[in-house]
Chains A and B, each alone.
Chain A
Amino acid sequence: GNSVTQMEGPVTLSEEAFLTINCTYTATGYPSLFWYVQYPGEGLQLLLKATKADDKGSNKGFEATYRKETTSFHLEKGSVQVSDSAVYFCALSDESGNQFYFGTGTSLTVIP
Chain B
Amino acid sequence: NAGVTQTPKFQVLKTGQSMTLQCAQDMNHNSMYWYRQDPGMGLRLIYYSASEGTTDKGEVPNGYNVSRLNKREFSLRLESAAPSQTSVYFCASLKRTLLSYNEQFFGPGTRLTVL
A-B contacts, 20 of them at CB < 8 A, read A32-B100, A43-B4, A43-B92, A44-B43, A44-B90, A46-B103, A49-B103, A51-B99, A51-B101, A93-B101, A93-B102, A97-B101, A99-B48, A100-B33, A100-B104, A102-B35, A102-B42, A102-B44, A103-B42, A104-B41
Please measure, in the bound complex, the distance between the C-alpha atom of A46 and the C-alpha atom of B108, giving whole angstroms: 14
Among B4, B31, B45, B106, which residue has the most Cβ atoms of chain A within 10 A? B106
Find out whether the CB atom of A98 lies under 8 angstroms from the CB atom of B94.
yes
Find the B residue at minimum CB distance from A104: B42
Find out whether the CB atom of B94 lies under 8 angstroms from the CB atom of A43.
no
Find out whether the CB atom of A104 lies under 8 angstroms from the CB atom of B40.
yes
Please measure, in the bound complex, the distance between the C-alpha atom of A51 and the C-alpha atom of B4, giving whole angstroms: 25
Contacts of B35 in A (CB 8 A): 102
Chain B residues close to A by CB (< 8 Å): 4, 31, 33, 35, 40-45, 48, 50, 90, 92, 94, 96, 99-104, 106-109
Q: In the assembled complex, how far is the CB of residue B9 from the closest CB belonging to chain A, in whole angstroms? A: 9
Find out whether the CB atom of B96 lies under 8 angstroms from the CB atom of A97.
yes
Please measure, in the bound complex, the distance between the C-alpha atom of A6 and the C-alpha atom of B40, giving whole angstroms: 10
Contacts of B102 in A (CB 8 A): 93, 97-98
Please measure, in the bound complex, the distance between the C-alpha atom of A103 and the C-alpha atom of B33, giving whole angstroms: 17
Find out whether the CB atom of B107 lies under 8 angstroms from the CB atom of A102.
no
Contacts of B101 in A (CB 8 A): 32, 49, 51, 93, 97
Contacts of A103 in B (CB 8 A): 42
Q: In the assembled complex, how far is the CB of residue A44 from the closest CB belonging to chain B, in whole angstroms? A: 4
Partner among B31, B43, B99 whose Cβ is within 8 Å of the Cβ of A98: B31
Q: In the assembled complex, how far is the CB of residue A104 from the closest CB belonging to chain B, in whole angstroms? A: 4
Contacts of A32 in B (CB 8 A): 100-101
Partner among A43, A100, A105 whose Cβ is within 8 Å of the Cβ of B109: A43
With contact pairs A93-B102, A97-B101 given, residues A43 and B90 touching in the complex (Cβ less than 8 Å) = yes
With contact pairs A49-B101, A103-B42, A104-B40 given, residues A98 and B108 touching in the complex (Cβ less than 8 Å) = no
Contacts of B109 in A (CB 8 A): 42-43
Find out whether the CB atom of B107 lies under 8 angstroms from the CB atom of A105.
no
Please measure, in the bound complex, the distance between the C-alpha atom of A105 and the C-alpha atom of B38, giving whole angstroms: 10
